[in-house]
Amino acid sequence: MDYYNKHFIRLDANSCIIKGFSDAFEQPEDGDICINQEGNRHFELSGQVNPSLFDGYGCLEYKYAPDTQTVSKTTNAEKQAGLLERKTLEQMQIDKITEFSFICNKTIESGVNVTLDTELEHFSLTYYDQLQIKQQSDKVKDGATEVPYHADGKGCRMYTALEMATIATEAEKFVTYNTTYFNQSKQWIKGCTTKEEVNGITWGTPLPEEYDNTFKFITGVSTRS
């Protein structure tokens, strides 16, 4: 006589599969669904033995349709909804701040456009670039009338004292703008009381008035206009 094991799944509120197991190792709880009454010893789903129910980003991979008793892959929208549901407010705040920190750094490093006379030139602002600009700017402050430097994609040339001062000023303004936006956004994110609030904040979103006032005081411009 053949002996079979039953295979069960457990769903979240969105009908995504959060657990799968065989009764050879675990007994079902109320609400668990039997999807195979004649299974092998180990749990199987969609032809795979003990498949991972989560992808590399922690999102649920499968959903179950009770009406048709079928299993299918979750869509990207369903994955994000499930991830939002499982994360705590604190974890979402940490993740959002980490995301903003990364974007801020990349935005700064990508650099700034500076108009010199009538020509627009672009200058990257990695840590090394910022250091070089400061060094050349300091030479100008010490009395140099020309200093060597280069714009992105162009060869090195001599920049006048005024040109180098303009580059340094615009670079400093650009760095200050983005770091101040990040710092004020971080305070905004920390002050959120719901996960939906945190999820709705994206880089570049105008700051609430209380944070925008500080931003405007430091940078001289508002994110709300």
- What is the CB neighbour count within 10 angstroms for residue 131? 10
Tokens read off for 54: 């989560």
Q: Could you tell me the sign of the dihedral formed by the alpha carbons of 29, 55, 92, 195, in that order?
A: negative
From first to last of the 225 residues of the chain, give the pLDDT tens digit.
Answer: 578 999 999 998 888 899 999 999 999 999 999 999 999 999 999 889 999 998 887 788 999 998 899 999 998 888 777 777 778 899 999 999 999 999 999 999 999 999 998 899 999 999 999 999 999 999 999 999 999 999 999 999 999 999 999 999 999 999 999 999 999 999 999 999 999 899 899 999 999 999 999 999 999 999 998
User: Is 54 buried (19+), middle (13-18) or exposed (0-12) by CB count in 10 A?
Assistant: middle
Q: What is the pLDDT of residue 14?
A: 84
Return d(Cα 187, Cα 167) in angstroms, integer: 30
From first CA to last CA, the distance across the chain in angstroms is 77
